[in-house]
Amino acid sequence: MKRLVPLVIIVVVLIAALGTTWMLMRSSRQTANENLNANAPTPGSEAPGAEPPHVRGNANAPVTLEEFADFQCPSCGAYYPELKKIESEFGDNLRVVFRERPLVPPHEHALIAAQAAEAAGLQNRFWEMHDMLYENQATWSVISDLVPVYVDYAKKIGLNPDQFMKDLNGEAVAARIFQDGKRAHAYGIVSTPTFLVNGKEAKGDSWKPEGLREMIKQALREAGK
């Protein structure tokens, strides 16, 4: 029996050692997983979109409302006046970013409308063309030859029309639309308008104007505003 005592002690020690090793391995795996999750990129972080982005409002605002939209999209056109109200209501607490998401098809003029807005942006008149396109959406959406129409808009907002025509189908404009498209894809955005409030997508009732307002208010509360 005495001969068995050392063997029993060895077995107990081995079991305890195995248990400790298992606990350490489990803890290590949990820590590794936590670190992996902590370091995991947020959606869209690897696809920042066109740089610099089109921003309206206070550049240092605590809340960023990022819109992915299509200039020919009827829902985007209907939402446009509501967004103007929201911008006015939240003032310096809100920063609005616009991202191109032309849906082609079904909107046959969506791409050239995006090109017109981006070409205007190269002359620092993006938002003026943005507003012009939405305010006249019902008119230009049914016209087949849009270039003369957009040139007329360009003149009305003070652009150099020759430069506008040159930029309309230029590489810089195409690159910006492509980069915004990559960002939309990274977030899985397939419909317009889609809104992100500080990176969080507005879904369901939150997509509606009042829901979007509530998301902005919640983001302000989280920012201590």
pLDDT of 204 over the 90 cut: yes
**In the chain, what is the greatest distance between 2 CA atoms, to the nearest angstrom?**
105
Q: Is 165 exposed, middle or buried (CB count within 10 Å of its CB: 0-12, 13-18, 19+)?
A: middle
pLDDT single digits (tens) 65-106: 999 999 999 999 999 999 999 999 999 999 999 999 999 999
When pLDDT is averaged across residues 128-154 and rounded to a whole number, the result is 97
Give the list of residues 6+ apart from residue 220 with CB closer than 8 angstroms, or none: 62, 63, 90, 93
CA angle 174, 127, 181 (to 5 degrees): 35
Name the pLDDT band for 39 (thresholds 50, 70, 90). very low
| Contact by Cβ (8 Å): 65, 86 | yes
Structure tokens at 36: 């992996």
Exposed / middle / buried, residue 202 (Cβ in 10 Å: 0-12, 13-18, 19+): buried
pLDDT for residue 45:
73
Tokens of 15: 């079991």
Task: Give the model's confidence band at 34: pLDDT under 50 very low, under 70 low, under 90 confident, else very high.
Answer: very low
Residues 134, 77 contacting (CB under 8 angstroms): yes
Of 76, 74, 165, 47, residue with least CA distance to 112: 165
Lookup: tokens for 126 = 């993006």
Q: Are 99 and 49 in contact (CB under 8 A)?
A: yes
Residue 204 to residues 8, 107, 192, 201, 225: CA-CA distances in angstroms? 64, 24, 14, 10, 25
pTM score > 0.85 for this model?
no
More confident residue, 104 or 25: 104
- pLDDT band, very low/low/confident/very high, at 44 (cuts 50, 70, 90): low
Which one, of 118, 130, 126, 106, lies nearest residue 174 by Cα?
118
- Tens-digit pLDDT profile for residues 170-197: 999 999 999 999 999 999 999 999 999 9
Query: Quick one: average pLDDT of 149-157?
Result: 98
Mean pLDDT of the chain: 86
pLDDT at position 42: 64
